[in-house]
Amino acid sequence: MNIQNKKRGFFERLTGSIRAEEDYQDPKRIPVKGDKKDNNWIEEENEEAELTIDVYQTPAEIIVQTMVAGVRPEDLELTIGRDMVTVRGKREESRKVEEENYFAKELYWGAFSRTVLLPQEIDPEEAEATEKHGLLTIRLPKIDKDKKTSVKVKSI
């Protein structure tokens, strides 16, 4: 199997790392049309960019934060499970500028997503998400597995 055709794994995409054998280039290999250029870091294997996140905990919650500046709340999709959160959306560019008129082009426009595996089970029904000044904050209440409740048995 050609090393150039291997898909990058989840952790390689997550961290931006590459396999050691992918770093090696055979000096005898002749470049072919369609090869990715080393300096073209914007080209991704998939069409979605990956959001950067902060994940931390308080005694009662797990908090996930990410920057979604320029995205309307109705263009964001949150999927929350007991052990996982996915944020997906799209940042639309509102103006059309010809490529030759750019001096610098560093902003990302287009689809993005990020899935986070949570370190502890949460209650998806009680989750809250807010956005302020481009910062999306998702509050996920932890499930207290040690909590016990007494239930009285009723005679019918």
Interacting residues of 92 by C-beta distance below 8 A, sequence separation 6+: 75, 109
Domain 46-143 belongs in CATH node 2.30.31.70:
no
6-56 pLDDT, tens digit each: 566 666 665 666 555 544 555 555 555 455 544 444 444 457 888 899 999
Tally of helices (H runs) and strands (E runs) in the chain: 2, 8
- Per the confidence metrics, is the pTM higher than 0.85? no
Rounded CA-CA distance 107/44 in Å is: 15
Neighbours of 110 (CB within 10 A): 12
Check if the beta carbon of residue 117 is closer than 8 Å to that of residue 92.
no
